[in-house]
Structure 1
Amino acid sequence: MKVLKFGGTSVANANNISLVKNIIANQQSDKTIVVVSALGGITDLLLRTAALASIQDISYKTFLKEIEDRHLTTIKELIPIHSQSKILSKVKSELNTLETLLEGAFLIGEITPKLSDKIVSYGELLSSYIISEYFIAEGIDAAYVDSRQLIKTNSIHGKATVNFQLTNSNCNTAVKEHNQKVLVMGGFIASSVSGISTTLGRGGSDYTAAIVANAVDAEILEIWTDVSGMYTANPKLVKQAMSIPHISYEEAMELSHFGAKVLYPPTIQPVLSKGISIVIKNTFKPEDPGTLITKNKNGKGKTVRGISHVEDIALLSLEGPGMVGIPGISKRFFEVLSNADISVVLITQASSEHSICVGISNQDTELAIAIINEAFDFEISRGKIKSVIAEKDLTIIALIGDNMKSHQGLSGKMFSTLGRNNVNIRAIAQGASERNISAVILKSDVKKALNTLHEEFFEENIKQLNLFVMGVGNVGAKFLDQIQQQKKYLKEKLKLNIRVIGMSNSRTMIFDEDGISLKNWVDTLASGEKADKALFYDKVMKLNYRNSIFVDNTASEIVSNTYHSYLQNSISVVTCNKIACSSKFSNYQELKDLARKYNAPFLFETNVGAGLPIIDTLKHLVASGDKILKIQAVLSGSLNFVFNNFNDSTTFHDVVKQAQQEGYTEPDPKIDLSGVDVMRKILILARESGNVLDIEDIENHSFLPEASLQTDNNEDFFRSLQDYEASFQEMYQKAVAENSKLKYVAQFEDGKASVGLQRIPKGHDFYNLEGSDNIVLFYTERYPNQPMIIKGAGAGADVTASGIFADIIRIGNF
């Protein structure tokens, strides 16, 4: 024998009820008991209608009409015309009685718990009758059973207590008296021993099904709903959540208590003692296996079975020196709350006995504060205990699983995972049952926390990185192309799922919480909202995603000034923008400190050498204990390109123009040619070597005429290059005469740095440097004579983009 329960969404309308019929028709059991809820939304409508009637608001009749129309329409859509008359007559009669009850509430201007139970019971009474008649009309061997005749309770209305001895006898008698293969009854409703309608409270339909399953010794209890079982997390908040195939009673109870709404905790109690299995199934996807709930699985499977949460929690803290060693404080504290019918959902107490902290519902906060302060008024007035402290708008998140307490490092893994993503924990509790580790966090952090923990414990080490990209010009566009190209590889080989959530250029910006499609991002961005750097930051903060990375592909000082804000909110920063790291040393140092403090990587490999691993290599040298003695480098791909292509058959102006057009220079080429760009790079290398240096400390032996340096726009700058072509040719001829090549060299030694144009002789490591390549020579204590050399393409959108990409991957592997 089976017991099947169908919830409100499963019987919300005629179409859904027809799906239920198909499920019942395919049952192989000798006898099936079907427990149904009210049509979806009807219970809430009944409660609202009753509330309006009780305050003598005539609009209650509008809702009564809606209730009537829902049921009559359902009958007409389900039942063949020739069979409707009897059913319509019965239902209209019941609706007339309901109308009379509501009129009574309207006339007296109040509603009692007894009357409320009577009114709200009509949802299940009507749905179960209509569904049973539909089954019969469809040729199913079915019969209707009035739940009030089977489930007997005391006379406490609203949440009656079941008389199991009498109920069990009634259920077994009904099964014996009905020869039909399918019995249909309403959930949630019952009656007192004297025959007055009662209800079983929240989750009542599930409870009814469990009561009946227990009474008739059912082989299984099936709970049919709108999801395919109990999930590893709330699938509305965690899109990667998956159905749990098999779970223990105890684990299911913990998950249900902490917000898994597909099952109400008391539901399990009646079947627990008899070991009756429960399966959670999806009415709309009956082929899905769902979740099987049985006795303890003896530690088999994953240690963590699910992650759940309870929202709208407040923390109350009672603390003070007068609590230490004083017996009875805790008793008084909890007794006050209990007497006010305030439920405590979490308890934690310091071992010093200096404080007690409890979690309660937000809505009970003001009452709780008042009654606790009143109860401890004597101690508060004498300074022995402080007035109760309350913090609202919190959420409890919980890891659920058998034997978690004995699993080494689980708590540490949970808390460190949250900490890495700037989720602040307000309180912690772990029950002696070993099945629950709970933490209280801000409500605004719940989505990030759930996704972070789910990724850590359930997603086979696939780490999701959420990018917010500022700047999608040459470098930015190549970067996005590379992400699109490598997306599958990264997921399969490196277990990284990279999504671009937001992007902006100087004109527009867009966001997509599910990830921006990189196949047509150009068109999407063109139709985005107006770009605003402050609003961009606010949006990133509001989304509050785990593993967030801000990617700056601009050369903007304004953008670089926002790094502090991102880092101190545990958002990593990856940038090819050199301004921040070459700004005042105090600013550079503060960014590095923030990155360490908030565990948010600040990476800028492309600041020097584009995609070459120059900074990363330097970091490893320093970290391993080596000491940098000297750095010599050609660090400007643009200047190397210019001087490799400049000769007596070209003009300096034309070569610089070509470098700009091919993307080797900054938008303002004077930054490159003036040496400022190289100064920034050698400054960054000096700082990463452990030296305190500012840009003003670097000697710049500029080769540009003063007139060129004084220009304030590109047009004037290029005109000045034409004016001084003779001096550029003279520099070239001197190098040729010495059988040398012109290279713009940066050097750091003995705490001093300089940059300038040099004539490099044959045989030098710099002499054969071609195109836009960069080269760096690291002379260290371990490499004093033969330096460590890093050489390769040091400019260009592709290689710069690949360097940014490499930094993203480094963060993913942290």
Structure 2
Amino acid sequence: MQVLKFGGTSMGSAQAIEQVCNIIQNKKPNGRFTIVASAMSGITDKLIQCGQLAGQGQEQYRSVLQEIENKHLDTIRTLFPITVHSGLISQVKKRLNTLETLCDGIFQVGELSARSLDKIMSFGELVSSYLLAEKLKVNGLKAIWKDSRELIVTDSHFGNAAVNFLATNHQANQYFQQETADYFVLPGFVAASADGETTTLGRGGSDYTASIIAAALNAEVLDIWTDVSGMMTADPRLVSQAIPIAHISYAEAMELSHFGAKVIYPPTIQPVMNKRIPIWIKNTFAPDDHGTLIHIPNGEARSFPVTGISGIQKIALLTLEGSGMVGIPGFSKRLFEALLQERVNVILITQSSSEHSITVGIHEADMLKAKTTVDSEFAQEIQDKRIEPLIVERDMSIVAVVGDKMKNHHGTSAKLFGALGRNGVNIRAIAQGSTEKNISVVINKADVKKALNVIHEAFFETPLKQVNVFIVGAGNVGSKLLEQLNQQHHYLMNELGLHVRVAGITNSKKMVFGHESINLPEWRALLENGEPADLKIFTQKIKSLNLRNSVFIDNTASKEVAAIYGEFLQHGISVVTCNKIACSSDYAYYKNLKELARKFNASFLFETNVGAGLPVINTLNDLIRSGDKVRSIEAVLSGSLNFVFNNFVNGANFRQVVKAAQDEGYTEPDPRIDLSGVDVMRKILILARESGAVMELEEITNHSFLPAEALNAPSVADFYEQLDVHAAHFLNLRQKADNEGKKLKFVARYENGKAAVGLQSIAPDHPFFNLEGKDNIVLYTTNRYAAQPLIVKGAGAGADVTASGIFADVIRSAR
């Protein structure tokens, strides 16, 4: 005997039922088959609606009954030849008339009991299974229909009845031994109590019906036909990278189904597991797909210690705690007895080793009655302040990681918690059985999708890792960064295992988000057609999307943008920036950002704050982390100023040189930002802070070479006029350096806790003397590099190199 169960979607239409018949007919000949059918998809919900409307005295139940009738009669007219329509329609109408009479009685009484609701819900399976049996007969198969209520005996707990297996096995064996048909069609979900009242086995109970019959008959195999190709490593609606599970043990399948995997109803597994009957989960609409085989493992090689990930939504955490619990027996017993009294199902349990508290997870729907009954049970202890009133936390979810091989694989828990921690997912409770087949964590429901994806990525998607970036600023640097991300996309995937997705872009006018990822070759057009820019909305959207491995990139020089870094870091979102304002503002703010990054396991990277794409800050960090100590830092940190003074030679006019630098894009639109030395002050401040100094910008001495009239000019045009007015001043500076055989460089220096910036004349034997173009150079003199300083030198300005530095920080944050 083989048992086949077909779910609601498999029975959902005339075309689907045709497919079911094809599957049955293609089974090997000379066998005997029991087919269990669910109600047509959506019918059970409509039946419940009928009962509820009737119980509430609302006549709309009649129109819902008509919808149910129409669906079944339309199916008959499509599925069967016209010659049998009359008889089938008559039989179905007879059953539906009984249903209507039942609903009419409920309407008159104005009350819907659990017993009546079970009777109402039974009609879906009774009718669909009858139609399937008749279709098999029309197709020439020796098939008969049998009412499951005459085989499966339960108690009288309506809505979720418990099976009497002894009586059920006796009745099933007696019936199937007597009958000689090849195909038996049974309604799923329905059964009967000992006194003959209709009961149901819980939503999803058709799977259970099939399992009960398969176990009773010692079937060769139980096929569960549904609308997916087996169990998946995670819910594909939440994890797009989920993959099918080819083989799984009974215990693993039970764990996954208990923790929310909808493919199979949890009680289904136990009856066949006891008889070692394999379960095949197959796709009615893709019957050639392998599906999932649930059985006793026979040594199949597996690539991963984890078999699958599942989750339960709408969970509440109940915590009973208090010093009066320590060392006193019986608190757990009383807690669980109180919950049992109200039929509250406990999903997860965890208890502190100090016995100071015990926490359980339950369905949110049971939260209020659980709170009431537990507080009542411990009223005296609460009054005496030996324990606290029951603490209830809602809006929680449970995520379970399941696998038989986890117990033999070191580091599974570390990988799980590390993946969650790096993405800012806070764990409220943890439960792990001694068998080590399941590690369950309770998290905020808002984090479920992200948690499932990062866990799946950690265990199933190596070496590919998804990184989601959000970019503020799409000007010179931002556009170059997007160009580089597009150019290197395949390299990152193939060589580094990184799938970098641009999930959002904004500039000062427009912003755009990608459903999956913004198409980079078209980003300009997409942004142009985006919605109006709003930094607050952009920030809220990033947080609400809650994507794994998120990185916020700031390509601006905006104070407003720099002020919101903390919001991202405390949500576990990394920040990469070339904006110097945050790290050169108040020391307390800089320090707070660094601490937030550590606390919430996010990266805060700003390599491009100094030296554009040069490894200036990373080199300094490596020195400090390895135990070295900085004695002094001497640097040329402005590519703009270096370009200006490298070209202010051979009779050149200072005004013309500055204008040329502006035209080339080496200075800001207002060149005073560069020439004032404030930008260099910010850079040396950042290096001083990264070397361990507690310093503010005001503490840095600025030996400005600009005359006050030029620095304070009302406009950029006025500034340029002042450069002409003071041309002799600049010429004197150059001639003095020329006379000494030196070159002018704007130098920053930090030593002994003090920093200064200013124009200096550099001698030929100094490393700064031959610094060309817009290059930067930094000299680190440390305990290890005392005799000869460590030199970092190269291009220190330009959109391309700055973008490449940001790009490198993004990769660094991802790895």
1:113 is matched with: 114
Q: Which range is displaced more, 13-22 or 501-510?
A: 13-22
2:643 is matched with: 641
Shift of 1:612: 0.6
Q: Which range is displaced more, 697-706 or 33-42?
A: 697-706
CA change 1:144–1:651 in 2 (3 A) is: farther
1:389 is matched with: 391
Q: Which range is displaced more, 548-557 or 130-139?
A: 130-139
1:495 is matched with: 497
2:587 is matched with: 585
1:337 is matched with: 339
Shift of 1:651: 3.9
CA change 1:178–1:532 in 2 (3 A) is: same
Indicate which of 544, 547, 550 corresponds to 1:548: 550
SS in 1 for 2:487: helix
Could you give the per-residue CA deviations for residues 392-433 of structure 1, whole angstroms, max 9, x where no partner exists? 111112221225345433333322332222222222221233
Shift of 1:37: 0.7
Measured in 1, the distance between the counterparts of 2:596 and 2:518 equals 29
SS in 2 for 1:580: helix
Measured in 1, the distance between the counterparts of 2:591 and 2:675 equals 28
Measured in 1, the distance between the counterparts of 2:22 and 2:668 equals 68
1:437 is matched with: 439
Q: Which range is displaced more, 613-622 or 529-538?
A: 529-538
Shift of 1:552: 0.8
2:577 is matched with: 575
SS in 1 for 2:640: helix
Shift of 1:512: 2.8
Measured in 2, the distance between the counterparts of 1:213 and 1:718 equals 92
Aligned pair count reads: 813
Alignment of 1:124-523 (within 5 A): 124-138=125-139, 142-172=143-173, 175=176, 181-192=182-193, 195-296=196-297, 301=302, 302-402=304-404, 404-405=406-407, 407-523=409-525
Could you give the per-residue CA deviations for residues 592-620 of structure 1, whole angstroms, max 9, x where no partner exists? 22222222221110011111111111111
1:53 is matched with: 54
CA change 1:636–1:92 in 2 (3 A) is: same
CA change 1:720–1:132 in 2 (3 A) is: farther
Amino acid paired to 1:804? I
1:12 is matched with: 12
Measured in 1, the distance between the counterparts of 2:416 and 2:58 equals 52
SS in 1 for 2:290: coil
1:656 is matched with: 658
Shift of 1:156: 4.2
- TM-score normalized with structure 1 length: 0.95
Q: Which range is displaced more, 258-267 or 193-202?
A: 193-202
C-alpha contact (below 8 Å) 1:308/1:398 kept by paired residues: yes
Measured in 2, the distance between the counterparts of 1:206 and 1:73 equals 26
CA change 1:646–1:26 in 2 (3 A) is: farther
Matched, 1:706 2:743: no
Could you give the per-residue CA deviations for residues 734-779 of structure 1, whole angstroms, max 9, x where no partner exists? 4444443332222222333222223334343223222211111222
SS in 2 for 1:520: helix
Q: Which range is displaced more, 168-177 or 275-284?
A: 168-177
Indicate which of 695, 698, 716 corresponds to 1:696: 698
Q: Which range is displaced more, 1-10 or 24-33?
A: 24-33
Amino acid paired to 2:440? S
SS in 2 for 1:742: strand
Measured in 2, the distance between the counterparts of 1:358 and 1:392 equals 12
Task: State the percentage of identical aligned residues.
Answer: 56
Amino acid paired to 1:18? E
Measured in 2, the distance between the counterparts of 1:155 and 1:384 equals 41
2:792 is matched with: 790
Could you give the per-residue CA deviations for residues 252-302 of structure 1, whole angstroms, max 9, x where no partner exists? 101111111111111012111111111212223323212111125569633
- TM-score normalized with structure 2 length: 0.95
Shift of 1:553: 0.7
SS in 2 for 1:259: coil
Amino acid paired to 1:109? G
1:24 is matched with: 24
Q: Which range is displaced more, 689-698 or 54-63?
A: 689-698
Amino acid paired to 2:435? S
Amino acid paired to 1:183? F
Unaligned residue ranges in structure 2 (runs of 5+): none
Measured in 2, the distance between the counterparts of 1:196 and 1:722 equals 104
Measured in 2, the distance between the counterparts of 1:142 and 1:762 equals 102
Amino acid paired to 2:532? K
Alignment of 1:518-537 (within 5 A): 518-537=520-539
Amino acid paired to 1:705? P
Amino acid paired to 1:320? G
1:753 is matched with: 755
SS in 2 for 1:120: helix
Measured in 2, the distance between the counterparts of 1:715 and 1:178 equals 103
SS in 2 for 1:519: helix
Q: Which range is displaced more, 404-413 or 440-449?
A: 404-413
SS in 2 for 1:625: coil
C-alpha contact (below 8 Å) 1:231/1:306 kept by paired residues: yes
Could you give the per-residue CA deviations for residues 119-163 of structure 1, whole angstroms, max 9, x where no partner exists? 211101111122233344455554433333333434443333334
Shift of 1:205: 0.3
SS in 2 for 1:581: helix
CA change 1:368–1:723 in 2 (3 A) is: same
Matched, 1:769 2:764: no
Shift of 1:582: 1.3
Unaligned residue ranges in structure 1 (runs of 5+): none
Measured in 1, the distance between the counterparts of 2:399 and 2:776 equals 51
CA change 1:195–1:752 in 2 (3 A) is: closer
SS in 2 for 1:711: coil
SS in 1 for 2:584: coil
Measured in 1, the distance between the counterparts of 2:164 and 2:751 equals 90
Measured in 2, the distance between the counterparts of 1:140 and 1:661 equals 87
CA change 1:265–1:659 in 2 (3 A) is: same
C-alpha contact (below 8 Å) 1:203/1:267 kept by paired residues: no
Q: Which range is displaced more, 153-162 or 680-689?
A: 153-162
Alignment of 1:574-613 (within 5 A): 574-613=576-615
Measured in 1, the distance between the counterparts of 2:2 and 2:663 equals 76
Amino acid paired to 1:635? L
Amino acid paired to 1:774? N
Measured in 1, the distance between the counterparts of 2:594 and 2:364 equals 40
Shift of 1:26: 2.7
Measured in 1, the distance between the counterparts of 2:194 and 2:782 equals 92
2:95 is matched with: 94
Amino acid paired to 1:123? G
Q: Which range is displaced more, 351-360 or 404-413?
A: 404-413
Could you give the per-residue CA deviations for residues 418-475 of structure 1, whole angstroms, max 9, x where no partner exists? 2222222222221233222222121122222222222212212432222121111111
Could you give the per-residue CA deviations for residues 58-77 of structure 1, whole angstroms, max 9, x where no partner exists? 11111111111111122222
Measured in 1, the distance between the counterparts of 2:565 and 2:218 equals 65
Measured in 1, the distance between the counterparts of 2:194 and 2:689 equals 84
Superposed CA RMSD: 2.3
Measured in 1, the distance between the counterparts of 2:157 and 2:624 equals 75
SS in 1 for 2:90: helix
SS in 2 for 1:477: helix
